[in-house]
Amino acid sequence: MSDLHTVNKSPFEKNSLESCLRLSRAGSVILLYEDAVYAALKGTAVENMITSVVGDRKVYVLGPDYKARGLDESRIIDGVEVVDYAGFVDLVDTNDKVQAWV
Amino acid sequence: MSETKNFMFLNRRAPYGTIYAWESLEVVLISAAFEQNVSLMFADDGVYELTKGQDTAGIGMKNFSPTYRTLGDYEVRHMYVDKASLEARGLTADDLVQVEWEDWETEESVDNIVEVVDSEKVAELLAESDVVFSF
Amino acid sequence: MPIEVDGKTFETDEEGYLVNLNDWVPGVAEMMAKEDDLELTDDHWDIINFLREYYEEYQIAPAVRVLTKAVGKRLGKEKGNSKYLYGLFPYGPGKQACRYAGLPKPTGCV
């Protein structure tokens, strides 16, 4: 089993995502929501934060938050999966616990 | 009214995650009534405020991105975007809203007052402003 | 105080603005005008309809200055002044016309 790590801060502004990636184990599940959805975007200066972990962590992005920010789903980094609110609930339910990197 | 000042609104936060972007926009709308020279600067995550196609139906928040397009009517003459911030965030000028400006008396018009500028120009514009409001 | 139009109740805030923009029907404007002892003419409706279109496009109620300029451009120069607009809406074109149109009070309007 694994833990669900949630990140909601912009990777450009806070080190929440960086710490989450550094301090979570392989096999962890990561959900990006609110301003953290920008980390899932291709072609940014921080793109490698996510591309370097998609092999050993499962990364999700919350669809409604991503859509609110005017970005097309085709621009999401390969290997990152979009979930809706129900999917968020399922992730909480199917993992051992939730750790929030606020 | 005393002499006209150059007001610069410096926007450095992404929309929706925090209230800064909306608060800045509200102050810009109000300040138009004071007949000052108002310019906006978008840098860091602030460049994300201007993305086209925002759809907030799924998050239950007001989508205020269409409001930027009326700023020309509020006599905002310049909306500058820091090129380095834009590029670092995977965006180009094509991803951003366009804002028209028109002088309704002379019918002089500008198709798009959103302008991508380099860091040197950003520094110059900030330095030349009389007042910088930070959000 | 809520207002009633054709047996339907519309919720308003403490200043009389409609709580839910999407609830609006023309009868709301007529009822609000009636309470102000005002008869709505085509000239009033031109302004109310313009305000609703503006809100639909930009998601805010326009400031009076913006409204005045837009009316001048859209409905003719002779109408693009505050005298004309105050003639139609004596409580203020921003406040009163926006209220009739079901819009929130314009930003910066006290």
Report pLDDT digits (tens) over A20-50: 999 999 999 999 999 999 999 999 999 999 9
For range C101-108, the mean pLDDT: 84
Confirm if A15 and A81 have CB atoms less than 8 A apart.
Answer: no
Cβ-based contacts under 8 A for chains B and C: 41
- Does A64 contact chain B (CB < 8 Å)? yes
Q: Grade residue C108 by pLDDT with cuts at 50, 70 and 90.
A: low
- SS3 (DSSP) at B97: coil
Q: Is C98 a catalytic residue?
A: no
- Write down the residue that tokens 């906006």 correspond to: B40
The residue in chain B having the minimum alpha-carbon distance to the alpha carbon of residue A70 is: B54
Rounded distance, CA C24 to CA C100, Å?
9
pLDDT tens track for C13-72: 988 999 998 889 999 999 999 999 999 999 999 999 999 999 999 999 998 888 998 899
ipTM value of the model? 0.92
Domain boundaries, chain C: 3-100
C3-100 to CATH, choices 2.60.120.10, 3.60.9.10, 1.10.760.10, 1.10.10.370: 1.10.10.370
Please check the confidence at residue C110 and state whether its pLDDT lies above 70.
no
Instruction: Evaluate if residue A90 carries a pLDDT over 80.
Output: yes
Strands (E), B3-120: 6-11, 37-42, 76-82, 101-102, 109-110, 114-117
Tokens, residue C27: 């009868």
Asked if pLDDT for residue A72 goes beyond 80, the answer is yes
Q: Which domains does chain B carry?
A: 6-134 (3.40.1260.10)
| B67/C60 Cβ within 8 A | yes
Question: Distance between CA C48 and CA C51 in Å, rounded?
Answer: 5
The alpha-carbon gap from A26 to the nearest alpha carbon of chain B, in Å, equals 27
Decide if B17 and A45 are in contact by the 8 Å CB cutoff.
Answer: no
pLDDT tier at C94, thresholds 50, 70, 90 = confident
β C8-10/C3-5 pair status: antiparallel
Q: Which residues of chain B have pLDDT under 70?
A: 1-2
Print burial letters for C27-66: b (CB count within 10 Å at least 16), e (below 16).
ebbbbbbeeeebebeeebeebbebbbebbeebbbbbbbbb
Domains in chain A, CATH or no CATH each: 4-101 (3.40.1260.10)
Helix (H) or strand (E) holding A5: strand A4-7
The residue of C107, C109, C110 whose CB has the most chain B CBs within 10 angstroms, and thus the best one to mutate to test that interface, is C107
The rounded distance, in Å, linking the Cα atoms of C20 and C6 is: 17
> Mind telling me how many Å the CA of B124 is from chain C's nearest CA?
31
pLDDT in tens, B26-36: 999 988 777 88
pLDDT of residue B33: 73
In one-letter notation, the amino acid at residue C66 is V
Rounded to an integer, the average pLDDT of A60-75 is 97
